Amino acid sequence: MTVVLWHIELSHYSEKARWALDHKQIPHERRVPMPGLHGMSALVHTRGAQRRLPVVALDGRRIGDSTAIIAALEEYRPEPALYPADPAERARALELEDWFDEHLGPTLRRFVWHHTLPDTDLVAGTLFTHPSPGRERLLRATAPIATRAVRMDYGVSAESAAAARVDVVGAMDRIEAELQPSGYLAGDAFSVADLSAAALFTPLLAPPERPYVPAGAAPAVLELREELMARRGGAWVMDMYARHRGVSAEIGAPVAVA
């Protein structure tokens, strides 16, 4: 049975799942719902258990949430492992994965959306990294409603974006504080901690190895990108991508679905 990933190209949580599938070289199909309908897609595929993507179909199961997906992939194909074998290192890796999931992911999303949403052309270029004229027309037609919905759903405002910027810088501080002599966050090898921290910093830092990198970004996003790229943690994110992002295990071209 073919493994299927429902994802949003821009989503850094989707990037976590894509990276894990590619790291383990698990052949899979990718399906991309229309932005705005992705919540409905997640609810349908998980029978109401999850309202956000990514979702993976694996061994007859529909699994939502990037952390749960990686846990399932570890069982499905244990090697190359993303969980350290040493119990203490494994606990550290999972704690860091959870911390970046809860602290970096949502705040970075609020910051980027606040500065991107006012420019419909930029939103279209961000969401559709491959030409999609029909979807772009629909996006432009529904932009006023969709913009309000995104702001409400993710708690996006000028105040939350300002706080988010501080938190994103704090997440970079955490990476730099947690780095081990090995150059990794947990133990002596690449793990779920490194994958999560690096993936969740995109698309802000936009490593060239990350699939679906938007062509443009808002000035405030570019300013923060430049600030963080000048730091040790920014160089570390780029290094993790250069050394470990690997080759895609996707079967065929991305499939657009409703």
Element (H, E) at 164: helix 158-178
Residue 36 gets the label, from left (phi > 0), alpha (psi -120 to 50) or beta, of left
Q: How far apart are CA 237 and CA 229, in angstroms?
A: 9
Q: Which residues touch 44 (CB under 8 Å, ≥6 apart)?
A: none
Structure tokens at 243: 């050394």
pLDDT digits (tens, 9 = 90+) for 93-114: 999 999 999 999 999 999 999 9
pLDDT digits (tens, 9 = 90+) for 111-152: 999 998 877 777 766 666 665 666 667 666 666 666 777 777
Domain architecture of the chain: domains with CATH: 3-82+247-257 (3.40.30.10), 87-244 (1.20.1050.10)
- Looking up tokens 């897609």, which residue turns up? 41
Q: Which residues touch 134 (CB under 8 Å, ≥6 apart)?
A: none
Q: With 0.85 as the threshold, say if the pTM is over it.
A: yes
